[in-house]
Amino acid sequence: MAVELKSRDHMWELDDTLEELAYLSDAAGAQVVGRVTQRADRLTPTYMGKGKLQEVQAAVADEQAETVIFDDELTPTQQRNLEAALQVKVIDRTALILDVFGRHARTHEGKLQVELAQHQYLLPRLVGQWSHLERLGGGIGTRGPGETQLETDRRLIRRHIQRIQTELDKVRERRSIYVERRKKASIPTASLVGYTNAGKSTLFNALCNAGVEAENQLFSTLDPVTRRIRLPSGDELLLTDTVGFIQKLSPMVVAAFRATLEELAESDILLHVLDITHPKAPEQAEVVEETLEDLGLSKKPRLLVINKMDLLAESDSGESPMAPPGLQSYPSVLISAARGWNLDLLLEEVEAQLVEMDGPMTVLQSVAGD
């Protein structure tokens, strides 16, 4: 279910964002049986208008649906109202992304980051979990077990969040020591960044034979993996594969993955991997650039890696791929990670860009999540 606000800047068409939501649902193991959309001036306490809510109720009954997934992040009030009206489980986009993250986290750090985001998401939504006790009414002697249990749960979750944050701080300290060692070793660095499923893990495997999972699925890889590779000159380069970006990614989720994303700041160059065959390639590129700007990385040198040229070669269009308008100022390389085409040219361009830069070179890392 998605509502398109008339006042919102529509970079994505409603059908496109719902198609992506369907892919996320598939990655979470759900089967999509129907879609409902609405254009509106504003969101209501039930997210959608009364008539559209009745349409969703009918669809839930007809399809015997067990869950309704919403494309935006719902407020706690909207989620409670919707669950009361629909009498089924209600999930928003953020919860769905966190579920997919949880399925693909393998390392201790990855699991900690997902758990932190899940608990931070849950905390403001605890209200209403004890609504069956609200019939006790108000007045003296009726503060009751409902409120007591709610406050107990809040306190336990806050303590758990603090423990996770402490553990993640230790991870950041270990990573900072590792970064300092890399700097002392003068090993050049960079980062593969891009929209999820752009082919970053496939490229990572092609360059360093890492055996990282690379499926045609959103966020099929989540945890960072680093490998050493050789540049054409024979010098070493470190390549790291980790989570990719996606539209409507909650700031809370980005904050939870801060320890991983901070590594991007240590890179001398960002390799923006773009699936040129995707119909929303320009919009995906804009999401990546906006996320990098939010992370304070907009001024980092950039190399655009235009991926999946093999699929272009198989098409009948005969058109040469063009970089999206916002990326045309960056140098670019056309490759096929799946076929291994032009990977030598990619490494030559990376090395050329690093040589042109002032100061010591650092590590090539990949923000993946293919």
Could you tell me the end-to-end alpha-carbon distance of the chain, in angstroms, rounded to an integer? 25
Residues 6+ apart with CB under 8 A from 364: 188, 189, 190, 191, 192, 229, 237, 238, 239, 240, 267, 269, 271, 350
* Per-position pLDDT tens, the chain of length 370: 899 887 766 677 888 889 999 989 988 889 999 999 998 989 999 999 999 999 999 999 999 999 999 999 999 999 999 999 999 999 999 999 999 888 877 778 888 888 999 999 988 887 654 443 343 344 444 344 555 677 788 888 899 999 999 998 888 888 778 778 877 778 888 888 889 889 998 998 999 876 655 555 556 556 667 788 999 999 998 887 767 888 888 888 887 777 667 778 888 888 999 999 998 999 999 999 998 888 888 888 899 999 999 988 665 554 556 677 777 788 999 999 999 999 999 999 999 998 888 544 445 555 544 5
According to DSSP H, which parts of the chain are helical?
A: 14-27, 50-63, 76-86, 93-104, 108-122, 144-184, 200-208, 251-256, 258-261, 281-294, 309-314, 343-356
Q: What's residue 313's pLDDT? A: 63
Residue that the structure tokens 């999820």 belong to:
196
Query: 8: which residues sit within 8 A by CB, 6+ positions away?
Result: none
CB 364 within 8 A of CB 237: yes
DSSP reduced 3-state for 92 = strand
In the block, residue with structure tokens 């496109």: 16
Q: Residue holding tokens 């540049």?
A: 231
pLDDT confidence of residue 283: 92
Task: Compute the distance between CA of residue 28 and CA of residue 97 in angstroms, rounded to an integer.
Answer: 8
Nearest to 241 by CA among 276, 205, 283: 205
CB of 335 within 8 A of CB of 341?
Answer: yes
Say what the pLDDT of residue 252 is.
81
Contact in structure between 316 and 271 (CB atoms under 8 Å): no
For 316, the token pair is 């009948």
Tokens representing 155?
């306190």
Q: Compute the distance between CA of residue 221 and CA of residue 284 in angstroms, rounded to an integer.
A: 18
